[in-house]
Amino acid sequence: MAHLKIDYIEFSSGKISATTEFFGKAFGWTFVDYGPEYQALANAGIDGGVDGTAQGPAGMALVILKAENLEAAEKQVLTAGGTITKPIFTFPGGRRFHFREPSGVEIAVWSET
Protein backbone atom coordinates (compact mmCIF):
# COMPACT_ATOMS: atom_id res chain seq x y z
CA MET A 1 0.00 0.00 0.00
CA ALA A 2 1.32 3.45 -0.90
CA HIS A 3 1.80 5.95 1.90
CA LEU A 4 -0.45 8.94 1.24
CA LYS A 5 0.18 12.44 2.61
CA ILE A 6 -2.12 15.41 2.86
CA ASP A 7 -1.69 17.29 -0.39
CA TYR A 8 -4.54 19.79 -0.47
CA ILE A 9 -6.94 21.47 1.88
CA GLU A 10 -10.11 23.08 0.65
CA PHE A 11 -12.31 25.36 2.68
CA SER A 12 -15.97 25.69 1.78
CA SER A 13 -17.22 29.25 2.21
CA GLY A 14 -20.49 31.04 1.61
CA LYS A 15 -18.59 34.32 2.05
CA ILE A 16 -15.41 33.83 0.03
CA SER A 17 -14.20 37.42 0.35
CA ALA A 18 -14.64 37.37 4.15
CA THR A 19 -12.78 34.06 4.35
CA THR A 20 -9.82 35.13 2.21
CA GLU A 21 -9.65 38.52 3.94
CA PHE A 22 -9.55 36.79 7.34
CA PHE A 23 -6.81 34.34 6.31
CA GLY A 24 -4.79 37.20 4.85
CA LYS A 25 -5.07 39.29 8.01
CA ALA A 26 -4.61 36.47 10.51
CA PHE A 27 -1.86 34.45 8.80
CA GLY A 28 -0.44 36.54 5.94
CA TRP A 29 -1.70 34.11 3.30
CA THR A 30 -2.20 35.27 -0.29
CA PHE A 31 -4.43 33.83 -2.99
CA VAL A 32 -4.57 33.15 -6.72
CA ASP A 33 -7.91 34.25 -8.17
CA TYR A 34 -9.66 31.61 -10.27
CA GLY A 35 -12.90 33.58 -10.55
CA PRO A 36 -15.65 34.61 -8.16
CA GLU A 37 -16.11 31.09 -6.76
CA TYR A 38 -12.53 29.91 -6.14
CA GLN A 39 -9.33 31.26 -4.61
CA ALA A 40 -6.22 29.06 -4.44
CA LEU A 41 -3.84 29.31 -1.49
CA ALA A 42 -0.53 30.77 -2.64
CA ASN A 43 1.75 30.69 0.44
CA ALA A 44 0.06 28.74 3.22
CA GLY A 45 2.62 25.92 3.46
CA ILE A 46 0.33 23.43 1.69
CA ASP A 47 -1.66 23.48 -1.52
CA GLY A 48 -5.32 24.27 -1.10
CA GLY A 49 -8.08 26.70 -1.84
CA VAL A 50 -11.30 28.40 -0.84
CA ASP A 51 -14.44 27.21 -2.62
CA GLY A 52 -17.08 29.94 -2.76
CA THR A 53 -19.86 27.68 -3.99
CA ALA A 54 -20.49 26.62 -0.36
CA GLN A 55 -21.59 23.12 -1.34
CA GLY A 56 -20.28 21.60 1.88
CA PRO A 57 -21.14 22.68 5.41
CA ALA A 58 -18.71 25.02 7.10
CA GLY A 59 -16.40 23.32 9.58
CA MET A 60 -16.68 19.88 8.02
CA ALA A 61 -12.92 19.25 8.22
CA LEU A 62 -10.63 20.45 10.97
CA VAL A 63 -7.32 21.87 9.87
CA ILE A 64 -4.69 22.24 12.58
CA LEU A 65 -2.02 24.93 12.31
CA LYS A 66 1.20 24.97 14.34
CA ALA A 67 2.44 28.09 16.17
CA GLU A 68 5.58 28.79 18.18
CA ASN A 69 3.65 31.22 20.40
CA LEU A 70 0.09 30.07 20.99
CA GLU A 71 -1.03 33.22 22.80
CA ALA A 72 0.24 35.44 19.96
CA ALA A 73 -1.60 33.28 17.43
CA GLU A 74 -4.80 33.53 19.47
CA LYS A 75 -4.46 37.32 19.54
CA GLN A 76 -3.99 37.42 15.75
CA VAL A 77 -7.12 35.31 15.26
CA LEU A 78 -9.19 37.55 17.52
CA THR A 79 -7.83 40.75 15.94
CA ALA A 80 -8.74 39.46 12.48
CA GLY A 81 -12.34 38.76 13.55
CA GLY A 82 -12.20 35.09 14.53
CA THR A 83 -14.29 33.63 17.35
CA ILE A 84 -12.71 31.26 19.88
CA THR A 85 -14.77 28.05 20.18
CA LYS A 86 -12.42 26.16 22.55
CA PRO A 87 -10.06 28.24 24.69
CA ILE A 88 -6.43 27.15 25.08
CA PHE A 89 -6.22 23.70 26.65
CA THR A 90 -3.43 21.20 27.33
CA PHE A 91 -3.15 17.77 25.77
CA PRO A 92 -0.29 15.23 25.82
CA GLY A 93 2.52 16.87 23.86
CA GLY A 94 1.19 20.40 23.62
CA ARG A 95 -1.56 22.95 23.90
CA ARG A 96 -4.14 24.20 21.44
CA PHE A 97 -7.27 26.25 20.86
CA HIS A 98 -10.07 26.15 18.30
CA PHE A 99 -11.71 29.05 16.52
CA ARG A 100 -14.13 29.87 13.72
CA GLU A 101 -13.37 32.33 10.96
CA PRO A 102 -16.19 34.71 9.82
CA SER A 103 -18.03 32.27 7.53
CA GLY A 104 -17.94 29.46 10.12
CA VAL A 105 -14.96 27.24 9.21
CA GLU A 106 -13.53 25.75 12.40
CA ILE A 107 -9.76 25.53 12.67
CA ALA A 108 -7.37 24.65 15.50
CA VAL A 109 -3.93 26.01 16.38
CA TRP A 110 -1.45 24.06 18.50
CA SER A 111 2.02 24.49 19.95
CA GLU A 112 4.41 22.17 21.69
CA THR A 113 4.59 22.26 25.48
Residue 28 CB partners (closer than 8 Å, separation 6+): 43
C-alpha pair distances (Å), 5 with each of 41, 46, 96, 107: 18, 11, 23, 19
**Averaged over 56-75, what is the pLDDT?**
80
pLDDT for 1: 42
Lowest-confidence segment of 3-7, 26-30, 73-77 by average pLDDT: 3-7
Residue 67 lies in a domain: yes
The count of structural domains within the chain is 1
Looking at residue 61, its pLDDT comes to 60
Tell whether 2 is covered by a domain. no
- Residue 17 inside a domain? The answer is yes
pTM: 0.71
- Report the CATH number at residue 66: 3.10.180.10
CA distance 77 to 110: 13
Q: Tell me: the pLDDT tens digits for 1-27?
A: 445 556 688 888 888 899 999 999 999
Structural domain that includes position 64:
8-112
Give a yes or no: residue 86 inside a domain: yes
Evaluate whether 12 touches 54 at the Cβ level (below 8 Å): yes
Residues 6 or more apart from 17 whose CB is under 8 A from it? none
**Domain-located, residue 3:** no
44 inside domain: yes
Q: Are 110 and 68 within 8 A, CB to CB?
A: no
